[in-house]
Structures are given as C-alpha cells and as structure tokens.
Structure 1
Amino acid sequence: MADVQQAPMIDKTLPDKSGDGIQSSGTNGNSKSPSTPDQTVPDPNKKVLQHQTSVGSMGSPEPLPSDDLPEELLQIGWRKYWSKRENMPYYFNKITNESLWEMPQLLHDPTTDPLGIGSDQAPHPHVGDKRLSRPSIDIPPTGLPQHKRRHSGEVLGSPTAKRPAFAYSPFWNFEMPTNAVIFERAPCVLPPPHPEIELMRAQMVHKLRQHYQELCHSREGIDAPTESFNRWLLERKVVDMGHDPLFPTVCHNEVSQSMYREIMNDIPVKLVKPKYSGDARKQLLRYAEAAKKMIDSRGGTPEGRKVVKWNVEETFTWLRKQNAVYEDYLERLAHLKRQCQPHVTEAAKTSVEGICTKMYNMACEMAKKISDKHWELLREFNINEIQQPPEPIHRRKVFCYPVHMVVPSPRLQIVEMSQENEQHLLKYRGETLKINSSHFYKLEQLYKISCRDDPRFDHYLTRVWSLLRRYHTLFGTQPNEGLSLQGALPLSVFECLHRVFGVTFECFASPLNCYFRQYCSAFPDTDSYFGSRGPILKFYPISGSFEANPPFCEELMESMVDHFEGLLTESKEPLSFIVFIPEWRDPPTEALMRLESSPFKRKQVILPPYEHEYRHGFQHICSKDDMNFKAVHGTLVVFLQNDAGFQRWGPTTERVKELLISAKPRESL
C-alpha cells in the first residue's frame, strides 16, 4: 500500500464566501469523502453529507491559492478547495473528477500518463487515485474523517447487508499494483450487459446444447461427448472474428476441429477404461458389432469395408475360442481399433462434418437475434451502435488498465438480493443465482476499484447477476460440467509466484476466481466492470511478469503458445510467462510439445499427480471444505522469458525450489 501524505492544514482566516454544498459520493451520515463539486440542491429526505466550499461570482467553486501544490499536480488538473463543514482542505481534479482529503502523490497515472514508463521507477498506483493508494476496503488515515461507501443493497432498497469483516482477504490480493505495461488501446464497442439479454442468451445456449445432443443421437447413435460443447465454444472463439461475446459468428472454417475430433472419438461407440475382465470383453464385443453395422450402412470404399469386416469376424472367432484375461481384452480392443477406426472415420466423415456445420450456422442465427434484440433495447434509451472504436491519438506506453466500455449503459432493472447463511441470493424475473458471501464482497471490491461509470453502485447488483448468468451459461447444466474451465492454482502458489517471480497478472481468470486485480478473462463486456483486461489473445503487453493456467482446450493452448512467442519476439523489455498445463503425453498434445521446444523456454518442471492441488473451478458457490482438490494428472510448468525477463525473473534453482514447495498439499508438508 502506497504511503499517503497528509495535506497541511490551511489557515482558517482565509477569506471565505458563502457557497453551495458539495454532495458526497456516500449516503451514510458519517461519510466524509469529498466528490465532484455539484450545484444540485440536496434532497432533505436523503441522508447526504454537505460540505461547504468557497464559490465565485458565477456560483461555481473557486480553488484556494495553490502555491503550495507542485506544478506537476496543477498541470494534470488538481486544485485545492476548502470544506467549511469539515473545516479542512480537500483536493479535486477537474479533469478526472476525482477528489481526496489527502494531497495527491507525485506519481504517474498508468491510464493516462506514460512518462513513468520511460524512467527507472518501479510501477506505481494511479496519481491521486484513492482506490489504489488505499486498501480496497477503506481504512482512513489517522486524524482524517472516515469514508464509508454506501452498500449496493441500500441503493436498491434491499436490507442493509453487513460489511465484510475482513479488509484483507487471504483468498486474493488486490493491493498489488501491476508491472504489466501495454500501449494505449481502443475501448470496447460491445453493448453493455443487460439482464434481459443474458436471460435470452442463456435460453438460446440451452437450446443449442439440446440440439447438439439430438444431432449426435439421431445421426451417429451416441450421446454428445462430455464437455465437447464447452470446448467447442472456446475453440471457436480462438478463430472467431465476430462481436458476440459467447457465440461464434465469423469463422473461416465452419467445421470445428475440436467438435469433429471429439465426436469421432466416440464413433462407432464410446469407449471407457473398463474395471474388470467382463467389462473389457463386453466393450470389445460392442465395438466390433458397431463397426460392422456402420460400415454396412454407410458404405465407404470397397477396401475399407473388406478390412473392417475381416477384422470383426476374426475378433468374433477369437472371443468364441479364448478365455482371456483383462490385459488380453484391452490389447485386442486396441488392435481392432487401429485396424478399423480409419475406415470407420472415413465412412462417418460427411455426417460428422454436417453436425459441426449445423451447430455453427445455428449459433450465427442465434447471435443475430440476440444482437438485434440488444440494440433494439438500447435504442429505446437513445443509445446507438458504434461501428468503429475511437483509436488513441498517441501510441503511448501505460500500465495495463481494465477494458473501457465506450457504449453507455442504460438504466438497468432492479435485482433483488437476500442473504441465506453464508450465501447471497440475487433474483431477477424469477431466476435466483447464488454466490458465496465472501465472493460477493470480493466482486464489490473489484467493482469499487475498476468501475468508472457507477460511483453510487446503482448498477452493482444487476451487473453481478449478469456476470453470474453469463458464466453459468458457459458452464452448462450438468453436475460439475465446465469444472475444468474455471480451475485455478492454489493460493500458496500465487503467493510464491508474486514473491519470487514478480507475478502480478493472470492470463486466464475471471472475476470469480482471480487472485490479482489484474487479469484477462473470456468476456470483456460483463467482466470489465470488475477489472478484466479482456481476452488474453487480444492483450499485447510489452513488459511484465504473468501467470498462465489455460482451460483444457487444445486449440486454445496452441494459440496461447503462438501469442506468447510473438510477444516475446517483439519486446526487448522484461517479459515473462509462467505457464501451467496438463502433462498429457499419451499421446502428447501439440501445445505441450510446442512449449518444450520453444526458443524462449528457460526451464521446465513437473508437478507429479496427486502431489499438488488445484482450486475448485466453482469456488464462488462451493463449500469451504471442497475448495481445493488434488490433481489426478501431472502439471508441466514452463518458464517462457525473453533475455530481459530472464535477467529479472529467471528460474534459478532456489526460486524453483520455493515454487515446488508451495505447490505441495498442506497435509504433505
């Protein structure tokens, strides 16, 4: 936490004219935080604190003599004013509309001022940004009036929720400023989230999931592969050039390789590792019968039909004569699949490609309906679509900042909130979404730090509901579906990564499972209000230390490696990516082989299976006892760094040893 210098008191004998009140951003009678000068007559029925300030002849506040303010602060808009009610000065920035009781620090603003990047100074918080120079839950400096933000429940008339008892949570660290540097970038032109649209999107995705199951069952006689739909959404967004945050709409190839591969793996029947010899024998028999049936009904080349039928008949003969053991059945099944699967795949190719094409076209139609409805709703508030985002005038280096939404948000519907045990329940139009109270307050802190257009928290509950609805739509409807999309590293690993390797940024996270306040996530529209920097493949840092734990989607992991190598090639400033991916070697994934052969690899280590943990993918709704679980597979940790990054955060033996210790489950230490 940056030290905040207390402003010197101004002589109370200064001439003071009668002035208008300044409305505080809080509504509690004890609020002491100044805000933008305002000429609005206060409502006597509202509990609003009034600060008297000196005004000029035109009725607008006049700054006090500012000779004691540094020239740097004057140039960026800071002026000193006098509060007659509190009998002390405060500081107001006429450019950013920020206000402070303390004198702003002479630091560089990472969202507007690039000058600090070229110097040798370490990254600093915003200039005079109270949100970043203080703990995320306000703790007033000694001798200054206490500031208490109005709770969002009070805004909407809900029962006043109790402020969380923890100022510093052991489950995340929002006090750490970023060391990630980017060039200024254009804002996001997506329409702001709306609960009505999120309900519509959830219904559309549910229909699409059902149709996928029907297509697989009617055309191929199988159930839709588990998690296949979720990985399809991820794989499509890697190549999608459209604007819908969830549905794919503009892909050059309509056939998804991820969906095609997973359906083919279950044709002609789904195979699972059997437990007993009897199960292995039944599975071998089922595969042989299904392969023969498919090749008879689908045709294929004469040579392929001949090979499949000959191997199937040989298998039937072997089963009648042999009284085999477990390993014999598995070996025979593997042999039969090697011989038959290429010809079965060729026979089913056209049908499976048709499923993939049908799913893509349906997604495009649904996305268009959602977009039309969304903009129709916004036009009722005179909010029109922006075709091209405004580009930055100057290409300046800045510390990374959350995605800026350029389309304004309309007045949002009210979401009802209630509390039940240790959960908050948010209800909109009969649909109730749950979130653990600790994570509800976590989102409140992120919102307070990152949101730019809602200082009174008027939209907080509605945006939390929209956020939860979006991620629940992505997760799916089956128990534990989507679990692998949200898994996170344990807290001890994050603490070690920050302390030892200077990591301050997560490349794959969400507002629900992030550890730092700097992170990339899948949905810039719903997540930006809670600090998201947008999707990682559209994020271009030039320096900083990053952690990457991608969802288990092969196409996404391959694109991640390409993206990181491109960034490391272009940047000469310190840049480091510490990547955690599953150690899948049977067969090895393309991403794993690419990482191990990368020219930027400085070191790799393996966390053995059952000797390290992951944090639950649904940590925002699961119980505390289920928060961590042991990994059933090994995890490969690869350090990708350019030369400058290696000099600053290189994986020395001592540093790697600390990382390995931090990854061990607590009971094993």
Structure 2
Amino acid sequence: MSSTTSANVEATCSRGAPVPHSINNFETDLPGDLLSQGWRKFWSRRENRPYFFNRLTGDTMWEMPPSPGSGTGGAGYNSADPLGISAGDPQAQPPPTPNNNGGGNVVNTNNKRRISSCEEQGPPLKKLILNGPWDLEIPTNVILFEKAPSMIPHPHPEAEALRFVLVMKLRQSLEEICRSREGIDAPKDCFNRWLLERKVIDQGGDPVLPSYCFPEISMSMYREIMNDIPMKLVRPSMNAEARKQLSKYCEAAKKLMEMRNAPPESRKIVKWNVEDNLAWLRRVVGANFEDFQERLQHLKTQCQPHITEAAKSSVEGICKKIYTLSTDYALKVKEKNAEILKEANISEHGIKTSVPNEHKVWCYPVQFALPCPRLPQVDFFQDREQTVLRYKNDSLGINNSHFNKLEQLYRYGCADDRKFEYFLVRVWMLLKRYNSYFGTNQGEGAQNQGAIPITVLECLNKQFGVTFECFASPLNCYFRQYCSAFPDIDSYFGSRGPVMDFKPLCGSFEANPPFCEELLDTTFNHFDRLLEESLEPLSFIVFLPEWRDPPPQALIKLESSRWKRRQIIIPALEHEYRHGFQHSLPK
C-alpha cells in the first residue's frame, strides 16, 4: 500500500536482500553519482521490494532517485522530501504568520526533534494522503515560545512490560481490597478515574503510576467506593427486582452498622429505618415500581450519612493502600529505567538542557534531552485487516488503517528516526501503554477515549480554524497536532505533551476532556490563565456533559467565565461519540 512506504525498513533490511552475493554489493548497486550523494539501496522484507535511502539527508524513496544530470531533478524533485509527504497542496493557503508585536520571527530551531509543521519548498512528486477518520495534512496555526527539552527517559519495551504487569497488579489489588474490607466489587472504571484525578496533582516521574500526590487520599476513589456501600444500587427493570433490591439494602445496612464501631445514636437511626421498611415489605402486597424506588431512595437518604461515618476510616484506608502500592511500583519502574540507561552508558547527570530564548515558534512535539538507548526488534505480522506486533511472546494487534495512521504520524512527528529503525517497537510500546492505562476487561476505559465525530471536527476546522485537539491520543486524534496523556511515548507520533504543560500564545483549539470533575476544574483554570495572559487570537471550543444534579464546580465556573462567548446544549439522542477503541474494533 502507498501509505506504508517506509515502515520498519531498517529493522527488516538486516535480514537480507534477495541477492546471492553480499549485502554491500546490493547496497551499492547504483550509479556513481547517486552513490556520491549518499544514496544506498536496501530491501524491504515487509513490502518485498527494494527502497532507496540517503545516508546524508535521511530521505527515503521507493523509486530510484533521479540523477543530477538526468534532467528529472531540479524543480520536479524535492530532495528534502522525496515522497512529497510534507509538501503542501499548491491550492492550499499557507499557515498564518503570527503577529509577534515587535518580537522575533517564527523560527525553526536546530532541535533534535524537528518541528512537525515545517513545510518544505518546491512542488512535490506525489502527495501521500492517508484516508481515514482523520485529516493529518492540516498544518498547525498554534504558536508558542520555544521550550527546553524534557529530561524524561525514552520508553523501553522492558520497562513498559514491567509497568504493565504492575498496573494490572494494582487494579487487581483494588478489586481484592474492596471485596475483603467492604464486601463489594470495585466500582466500574473507578481505577481509571483515579488515574485521571491523581495525575492532575501528581509530581512524580512515572507517566502512568501516581507517586507524589498530596493529599494521598483520592476523593474521587473515596466517593465512588462510598457510594456503593453497603451495596451497589442498580436501576431495576421489574417490580420483583425493585422489591428484592430494597430488601437487600435493608439487610446490608443493618449488618454494616452492627459490625462497625458506630455511635449508638447512628445505629439506632439506621436500625429504625431498616425495620420500618422491612415491616412495610411484609405488610404491603401489590406495591408498584415507583413505591419501591421511592422507599429505597428515602432509606438511603436517611441512612447514608451514618453509614458514611461508620465506613469512613475503612474506605480511606483502601484509598491510601492503593496509593502506597502505586508509589512502590513507580519506584520499581524507575529503577528498571535507570538500569537500562546504565547498560547503555547514558548518564542523566551529563546532560545539559539549554535554556531557550524567547523565540516564538510553531508548536512541535515533545523533545528529549537524553539520547535513546538501543531498542530491541519486534516481530511483525500483517493480514488483510489487522497488524500484529510481538515482543517476547507478547502480541498486540491494531487495525491496518490505524497502523498506517501511526506510520504517517511518525513521519511528521519523529525526525530523529528517519530510517524507521524503532517504529515497530514504539508502536508496540504505545499499544502496551494504553492497554495498561485503560485496562484489559471488555469495554473498560472506552469512555475516556471517546472522540468527537468527524463531521464536527471538519466543521470546527473550516468555520473556526481549529487545528489542534487538547485531549487526544495517537490512536484517536483527528489532527496531527494534539495534546495527550503521555509525553514520552506519544511524542513520537506528534503529541505536544499534557495539556496542563501546553502554553500556546495563539490558535484555535478543540477540547473534549475525559469526564473527571477534578480534571475538568484544573483544565478550565489553565484555559483561563492562557486567555488572560495572551494578547494574540486564542480560542477554545469545549465539549462537556450536561450535568445538573448537581452541576459540577467546573461547569459553573465555565458558564460564569468572562471569556465565554456562546453555549449550546445538544439534547440526548441527538449527538454521538466515536468509539474509544476504534483502533482495535473489527470493521
């Protein structure tokens, strides 16, 4: 396929071109003038054909490059972009030039990671357009001040595999502690919301595991567990189910108050309400559905404050235990990364991060200050619909269309691996990271990854000049520039890092944050500061749930903001989201 032009070229060429002599003869089987320019020929085992790589410029082509004197070069040959990937459409308008108010011009600095929005000059040979539910050809209109490189280590598959095991172990610990201490299952997606809430305040170094948070007790996890005590309530569908649930709640509330060290007055109130409802159940025959639900709601209103007080210390202990385990696990991953760097003779202490000048630049992916250690290879399998990557008997799958999308994002966002040596292993690490982050149970975490429909994003781009998503991932992004949860692994595929660390001066943004109250509140405070500090055109179009019973503090703050220009409510059943796991769903 034309969209998979240069993936894993270097990773596979070492296993031999189909020539009986030597690989060196195959590499140099080119005209002398091309050899002098740095061109070499290699064999792509995946595509089963040769390709041409320039060791001096890092360019890659499927067809033989034109000779300097052949007359096919010049204006028709873009030597900096032989595939025509980065060259813009001649009909398209160039990105707007920022108004620097007397400051420096937008510059393309000599960073290790090239700014992804740079467009090469000259007409292309062929524009490579990757079809799908995205538009990766839209350039950025976002300007910011140049940033110092990050000191985070490059991801490594050994560290990623260890982190996955530890995160899964932490999920299992939450389930077991909830059952043993409270006799309930851990609330659905509670762990994922805990990760979101903790990362708002976490100052630790691990991208997934919270390790330096104050306060240590998560109010998000505390509320969700407490809401399911003494038992989880569900919406019944029939009278018999409603009657049974009311009876079970009475028994569970009575049992909990008898087992806990609760004040006598609290025990008395709960016991009286429970016995009153049990007597009503024995006395009344033929009550309707609404009667049972009204009784249950009244009982919970009367008993829950006393149940909460009785279970408070136990639930706080659950939250603190999970955080303590997370801190220990994050330390193990850190030690593993330190071991990998030591084996590669990479020292964090010898790295000097230059303090950037106040240069305004187009936004660009996160850059690393540390060099990348040598990464191992992964096995690659592909059929008509799915690509499978395997590292040490650990296989991960992704739809071919999204695999091709990641390849295109890698071209734009990762200039320090132009030979695609590490592309496959980094895709494997990306999938492993998101599997640990969202969980492996059916449907777990899908809500946090849901995306806005394509037609809406097309409209935002055409009508409002939106070119950037504040909450996305390489797997579900529509534009090639976006913010995401993980600045290390996502940056290879174009991520500008977490939105809280992103400080644009101008641009138009789409924000569809995960529905976590703490994250929403922190996000809108961040947007307020950006709007307050910027003198350039800056706008955010935010998508939120219509929560009104009660409304969260973030929604109240947003509606009362002096920066609000318009608010639209779309009724239920008149809107939709794209599935969060579209990259792995069958067609």
1:545 equivalent in alignment to 2:508? yes
Is 1:21 matched up with 2:56?
Answer: no
Q: Which amino acid aligns with 1:244?
A: D
Superposition pairs for residues 124-143 of structure 1, below 5 Å?
141=123
Secondary structure of the 1:606 match is coil
Tell me: CA distance 1:214–1:513, structure 2 relative to 1, closer, same or farther (3 Å).
same
Q: Which residue of 2 aligns with 1:376?
A: 339
| Candidates 90, 100, 118, aligned match of 2:100 | 118
SS in 1 for 2:377: coil
Equivalent position of 1:173 in the other structure: 135
Give the structure 2 partner of residue 430 of structure 1: 393
Q: Name the count of aligned residue pairs.
A: 534
Q: 1:326 to 1:302 in 2, by over 3 A?
A: same
Structure 2: 5+ residue stretches without partners: 1-31, 44-48, 88-95
* 1:193-224 Cα distance to aligned partner (Å, 9 max, x none): 11111111110011111111110000000001
Deviation by residue 1:533-556 (Cα, 9 ceiling, x = unmatched) = 000111111211000001121211
Among 611, 624, 641, the residue aligned to 2:574: 611
**Paired residues of 1:34 and 1:90 also in contact (CA < 8 A):** no
Q: Which residue of 2 aligns with 1:204?
A: 166
User: Where does 1:565-644 land on structure 2 (aligned, <5 Å)?
Assistant: 565-624=528-587
1:484 maps to 447
1:664 counterpart residue number: none
Work out the CA distance in 2 between the residues paired with 1:84 and 1:30. 23
Partner residue, 2:308: 345
RMSD: 3.5
* 1:564 shift after superposition: 0.9
Find the aligned partners of 2:447 and 2:293 in 1 and give their Cα distance.
28
Seen in structure 2, the aligned counterparts of structure 1 residues 567 and 196 have a Cα distance that, compared at 3 Å, is same
Structure-to-structure mapping, 1:489-508, within 5 angstroms: 489-508=452-471
CA shift in 2, pair 1:18/1:298, >3 Å: closer
Range with greater deviation from structure 2 (280-289 or 359-368): 280-289
Contact 1:35 1:92 in 2 (8 A): no
2:177 to 206, 215, 220: 215
Work out whether residues 25 and 455 of structure 1, in 8 Å CA contact, stay in contact via their aligned partners in 2.
no
What is the TM-score with the length of structure 2 in the denominator? 0.84
CA deviations over 1:391-427 (Å, ceiling 9, x no partner):
5331222111110122111111111111122111111
Determine the C-alpha separation between the residues in 1 that align with 2:518 and 2:510.
19
Residue aligning to 2:56: 36
Q: 1:316-372, CA deviations, whole angstroms, 9 ceiling, x for partnerless residues?
A: 121121232100111111111111001100000001000111101100110111110
Alpha-carbon distance between aligned partners in 2 of 1:389 and 1:285, rounded to the nearest angstrom: 67
For 2:281 and 2:514, the matched residues in 1 are separated by 42
Alpha-carbon separation, structure 2, partners of 1:417 and 1:88: 36
Select the structure with the greater relative contact order (CA < 8 A; seq sep ≥ 6): 2
Taking structure 1 as reference, are residues 198 and 549 closer, same or farther at Cα in structure 2, changes over 3 Å only? Answer: same
Is the 2:155–2:489 Cα contact (8 Å) retained in structure 1? yes
SS at match of 1:282: helix
Verify the 8 A CA contact 2:115 2:363 in the aligned structure 1. Answer: no
**Structure 1 residue 264: deviation in Å?**
0.3
Deviation string, structure 1 residues 253-301 (Cα, Å, up to 9, x no partner): 1100111010001000000111111111111111111111111111222
CA contact (8 A) 1:402 1:528 kept: yes
Give yes or no for contact 2:148–2:354 (8 Å, CA) kept in 1.
Answer: yes
Q: Tell me the distance in 2 between the aligned counterparts of 1:33 and 1:211.
A: 50
Determine helix, strand or coil for the equivalent of 1:546: strand
Q: Which residues of structure 1 form unaligned runs of 5+?
A: 1-16, 39-46, 53-82, 106-113, 148-165, 625-669
Identity of aligned residues (%): 51
C-alpha change, 1:352 and 1:330, in structure 2 (3 Å) is same
Tell me the amino acid that sits aligned with residue 167 of structure 2: V
Indicate the SS of the match to 1:541.
coil
The one-letter code sitting in structure 1 at the alignment partner of 2:561 is S
Q: 2: distance between equivalents of 1:494 and 1:484?
A: 19
Match of 1:78 in 2: none
- Partners in 2 of 1:299 and 1:588 — Cα distance? 34
Q: Secondary structure at the match of 1:524?
A: coil
1:272 alignment counterpart? 234
- Structure 2 residue aligned with 1:509, among 453, 472, 479? 472
Cα distance, 1:22 vs structure 2: 2.5
Larger deviation, residues 540-549 vs 389-398:
389-398
Structure 1 residues 230 and 375, CA, compared in 2 at 3 Å: closer, same or farther? same
- Residue number among 296, 299, 304 corresponding to 2:266 in the alignment: 304
Q: What is the distance in 1 between the residues matched to 2:369 and 2:270?
A: 59
Q: Give yes or no for contact 2:191–2:221 (8 Å, CA) kept in 1.
A: yes
Matched-pair contact (CA < 8 Å) for 1:276–1:326: yes
State the AA in 1 paired with 2:531.
L
Q: Compared with structure 1, are the counterparts of its residues 391 and 318 closer, same or farther at alpha carbon in structure 2 (3 Å cutoff)? A: farther
Which secondary structure state, in structure 1, belongs to the residue aligned with residue 281 of structure 2? helix
Question: Aligned residue for 2:195?
Answer: 233
Q: What is the CA-CA distance between 1:600 and the residue it aligns to? A: 1.4
Residues 1:401 and 1:92: Cα distance change in structure 2 (over 3 Å): farther
1:145-164 to 2 correspondence within 5 Å? Answer: none
The 8 Å contact of residues 216 and 224 in structure 1, kept in 2 or not, is answered as yes
Distance 2:493 2:376 in 1: 19
Matches within 5 A, 1:298-447: 298-323=260-285, 324-385=287-348, 390-447=353-410
Amino acid at match of 1:567: L
